[in-house]
Amino acid sequence: MSNDANHHRQLIYAKGEMSDLIRSLDDQSTPLGPMSTWPAELLNALNLMLDSGFPMFIWWGPELLQFYNDAYRVILGSGSNSKHPDLLGGPGKDHWQEIWPNIWPLINKVLTTGESVYLEDQLLPIYRDGKLDEVYWTFSYNPIRNANGKPEGILVVCTETTRLNRSQRENAEQREFLLNMSDQLRLFSDPEAMETRALDIIAGHLNADRFGFAKTLIKGEFFLIERDHHRNGVKPLKGAFPAKQFGTDIFETLLSGQMVMYEDVRNEARLSEQHRRSFTELRIEAIINIPLFKNGKLSAVFFAHYEQPHYFTIEEQVQIKQVAGLAWDAVLTARAEQELRLSELRYRTLFESIDEAFMVIEFSFSDDGTAENYRFLVTNPAFEKQTGLKDVVGKTILEIMPDVEPTWIRTYGQVATTGEALRFEEYNEGTGGWYDVYAVAVGKDTNQVVVVFHDITQRKMEEQRKNDFLSMTSHELKTPLTAVTGYLHILKKRVTSDDPKVPDMFERTIKQIGRMTGIINGFLNIAQLEAGQLRIDRTHFDIVELVKQAVQEAVATVSSHHFSFEPTGPIHVSADMEKIDQVIENLISNAVKYSPFGSRIQLTCWSDGSTVKISVIDEGNGIDKADQDLIFGRFYRAVDDQLTSASGFGIGLYICKEIIDRHGGQIGVDSEPGEGSTFWFTLPVAG
Ligand code: ADP
């Protein structure tokens, strides 16, 4: 034996465990017989193989007896179930039953054709360490030829690529998982249900004891957990937890985009005793916190808790990050969509239910930029009700109403081109109704206009009836009053009485009747105004003279106030003298009404050559800024306790304004409360 061994030593000269084993092979244990009789090709190949640090083995002879080197032996694994050492010198087929059907054709090919075979990343599961292992191989089968060139055996150079493949496979699995999860989450529209489902799905992938998404509250002072997923027997966590309790700067770290991970809380040097206790009281021995960002803002923190220390591989960290990120993104998207749906619903409800008719129209313009036509894009139910027009969307106004009044297209078109909103009341012959209309452009350069309108035909008709009534009553009253005034004047001359008070009483009666006539004239004016019948009869006259006469009249009839006016040279205007006189009288009588007994009322008349400005200046209580524009409106009276005694209807200034407007002049007031008022109006000077 020792002789043989020595002899063998000379045949197999490589060093190493497998060299020793091969040398010590019992001559009888292989069909090859004593080593001294082994062919030189085999011995050469064996030596080459045993010297190699790369995993190699040889199949030799018809039985495909297998010999392998140290590097290959490592791949075979160890333990009682390992193929090593029985495999050594044994027939390949007996030892590789699990993969023989896969590899035999390759072996056969090499032996019969002499061509080598090279394959990469082949899955050839083998039994090792007591179980069938999914092993990936990259290998080449090379023929070992005899002196005649015929293949007698195979030298296999191989390497296991399982690790590489596993991580690739895991990546693929992870991708599939993520895809699967987003597919499943897509079925949810309610963000909360989706979050719960996401946690369930993650549970199948992550072996943490508890996990979920926490929100940060009050600039990161608290973590808020609304729901979590926990393993059976693990306590759920719910509520707000102060961040400071679980580590210094934990929020700042998360905010900077880094995760916070403690693999073994009890032995974590970065944590203070007190921080560690906060964790262990909740039975948390390991934790990973991953910040989740949306639009650059920290929007939530994914947390996973473990009741035992847990060591996170890089792959695991990446996986958790990806899964949490994807799930949270889906939840956020669902939330945003829910918000959008809600706000859409709110607008739709409003849109469907309001009484106001609503339409969006789009304009087409001619080459020179004038609005030609518009198409209805959107209308609401009230639109149909108010206009009686059905199924207009998609059609143009000219298709629906070929003879529509061009002003409608022009007016809305103007809104589209200028972008300035318009509000107006208008009669539409097409529908036979009056409308109160508000039109506003949609954004910039869209050629679209939103129009909100409602039918005011009823109101207009009522106003008309009221106007007719007012005008009729005023007319009816005016005639008897004129007669009464006439008779009074006659009576005043005819009646002789010893009573000295009688003439004064006549005077007073005539004055009161005069006031009544004034009021009724006001009503008549209003009725005329509303009906568009206020006529301006222009003549050429000197306005200074007119003011002078009005002041003289006031001095003669009003004893309670001091009037002053310093006439300049004549200033001619082309105006309705009677109506301008009415304006001046109105301003004077207001000044009397709204300023204290004994105070001064001053009139001025001043021209710059093109316009003349007449002012009535009093020392009354003045007018609040807020009221200054409003008092020129119809039936508007400024509320002032001290003045409630002054009678009136709030129509005087309204009529004045209408009259001045129609003359192309302006009317206004300058006043500070408590400082008196200056009412003024302007007229163009006659050329
Ligand atoms: P009326 O005097 O009949 O109420 P007007 O249209 O003439 O109606 O005036 C509208 C309101 O303007 C008055 O109710 C009053 O509050 C305010 N006003 C008019 N003139 C003066 C004035 N000179 N000083 C203070 N307030 C005035």
| Residue among 90, 71, 73, 70 nearest 26 (CA) | 90
Confidence of residue 242 (pLDDT cuts 50, 70, 90): confident
**CB 594 less than 6 A from any atom of ligand 1:** yes
Which of 627, 653, 680 is the pocket-test mutation for ligand 1 (most atoms within 8 Å of CB)? 653
pLDDT tens digit sequence for 127-184: 877 777 788 889 999 999 998 999 999 999 998 888 777 777 778 888 888 888 888 8
The reported pLDDT for the residue numbered 575 is 95
**Does 544 or 533 have the greater pLDDT score?**
544
Nearest atom within ligand 1 for CA of residue 616: 23
Using the predicted structure, report yes or no on whether residue 677 has a pLDDT greater than 80.
Answer: yes
**What separation in Å is there between the alpha carbon of 622 and the centre of ligand 1?**
10
- What is the residue with the minimal CA distance to atom 4 of ligand 1? 650
What band does 8 get if pLDDT is binned at 50, 70 and 90?
A: low
Antiparallel, parallel or unpaired: β 433-441 and 422-428: antiparallel
Residue 614 Cβ < 6 Å to ligand 1: no
Q: What percent of the chain has a predicted confidence (pLDDT) above 70?
A: 97
- What gap in Å lies between CA 324 and CA 19, rounded to an integer? 53
Tens digits of residue pLDDT in 270-292:
889 999 999 999 999 999 999 99
Dihedral of CA atoms 364, 367, 371, 372 in degrees, nearest 10, equals -70
Residue 573 has pLDDT above 60, yes or no: yes
Which residue, judged by its Cα, is nearest atom 12 of ligand 1?
Answer: 631
- Quick check: 641 pLDDT over 50? no
How much is the pLDDT for 212? 94
Check pocket membership of 623 for ligand 1, CB cut-off 6 A: yes
Q: List CB contacts of 678: < 8 A, sequence separation 6 or more.
A: 615, 616, 617, 618, 669, 670, 671
Contact 254, 289 (CB under 8 A): yes
Please report the DSSP string for 383-416 in residue order: HHHHH---S-TTSBHHHH-TT--HHHHHHHHHHH
582 lines ligand 1 (CB under 6 A): no
- The per-residue pLDDT of the chain, averaged, comes to 88
Question: What would the mean pLDDT of 330-336 be, rounded to a whole number?
Answer: 90
Considering only CA atoms, which residue is closest to atom 14 of ligand 1?
Answer: 637
Please list, in sequence order, all residues whose beta carbon lies within 8 angstroms of the beta carbon of residue 2, skipping any fewer than 6 positions away: none
C-beta separation of 189 from 201 below 8 A: no
The pLDDT of residue 114 is 94
pLDDT > 80? residue 594: yes
pLDDT for 1 equals: 43
Report the alpha-carbon distance of residue 260 to residue 206 in Å, rounded: 17
- Res 7: pLDDT: 54
Tens-place pLDDT, residues 30-53: 888 888 889 999 999 999 999 999
Q: Is 650 in the pocket of ligand 1 (CB under 6 A)?
A: yes
The 10 Å Cβ neighbour count of residue 550 is: 23
Of 509, 623, 499, 511, nearest to 556 by C-alpha is 511
Q: Which residues contact 126 (CB under 8 A, 6 or more apart)?
A: 83, 96, 98, 99, 132, 133, 135
Residues 511-524: tens digit of each pLDDT: 888 888 888 888 88
Banded pLDDT at 676 (limits 50, 70, 90): very high
Indicate whether 664 pLDDT > 90: yes
**Using an 8 Å Cβ cutoff, are 107 and 60 in contact?**
no
Q: What is the pLDDT of residue 564?
A: 96
Amino acid making up residue 449: V
